[in-house]
Amino acid sequence: TSAVRRWVTKPSSLQILEIRIESVFHSVTDGDLDFLTEPQHKNEPLLVVFSTDKQKLQLHKTERHELITREDSIYDIQSPLSGSKNSNNSLNETNTIGHKIHSRVKRRGRRSGGLCRRRPMTVNFADIQWDSWILAPSSYEAYECVGKCHFPVNERLSPSKHAIIQSRLHLTMPKEYPRESCCVPTKLDSISILYYDEYGVLTYKPKYDGMVVTECGCR
């Protein structure tokens, strides 16, 4: 918030935080709230601020891009069409490995049924017996993630570095590593619901988190 930003820029000035607590239960009697401010007291007031480290997020994207670029270059080098005939044993071995990799990529591309993607999935709360506590909406579009995460993993699918490595291992050594990385939700959004809470109080929640898939990726 703007108040927290001002506190960060002027740490030497006196800051005052006013907190008001209101109960949803009308039967609760009014009481006093106070903070112990002695510097040596074990119950000192504490303010925790949650924020997003954009620099760390950008570093992760840069490292992921570098890894995918390296994998693409290795994939091109090992392509049986990218090099000429050479009597060197190591190059012949590389071409053999590259031919196997390209053959597997082509086969999986033909029978994959589509890469990792988002598709519609309508949820009716009555079908899962949630209509007893969720009054509205009666249904909503949740979406789901389906498809494959074949090598080379597209950067559009925001793969983790572990997913890139796992897909590579599965491609080169399928018997030792039989599982590819999985197509899963990587970003979720909220919906608004009217529901009964654990105390039976009818409550409106404008943001009920983690209910709608907005992005899919490989993990």
Beta bridge partners of 183: 218
For the segment 27-83, what is each residue's pLDDT rounded down to a tens digit? 555 555 555 555 555 656 666 666 666 666 666 677 767 776 766 665 554 554 444
**Taking 60 as the threshold, does the pLDDT of residue 9 lie above it?**
yes
List the end-to-end C-alpha distance of the chain, in Å, as a whole number. 33
pTM score of the predicted model: 0.55
Residue 118's φ and ψ, nearest 5 degrees, are: -100, 140
Confidence of residue 137 (pLDDT cuts 50, 70, 90): very high
**Taking 80 as the threshold, does the pLDDT of residue 117 lie above it?**
yes
> Do you know the residue count of the chain?
219
Mean pLDDT of 155-161: 81
For the segment 166-185, what is each residue's pLDDT rounded down to a tens digit? 888 888 888 888 888 889 99
For the segment 53-63, what is each residue's pLDDT rounded down to a tens digit? 666 666 667 77
Structure tokens given for 55: 């620099």
CATH superfamily of the 49-218 domain: Cystine-knot cytokines (2.10.90.10)
Q: Coil, helix or strand for 109?
A: helix
Mean pLDDT of 137-155: 89
* Dihedral, CA of residue 189, residue 192, residue 193 and residue 194, to nearest 10: 160
Q: Kindly give, in sequence order, each residue whose CB lies less than 8 Å from that of residue 150, ignoring residues fewer than 6 positions away.
A: 105, 108, 109, 112, 115, 167, 171, 180
R_g of the chain, CA atoms, integer Å: 27
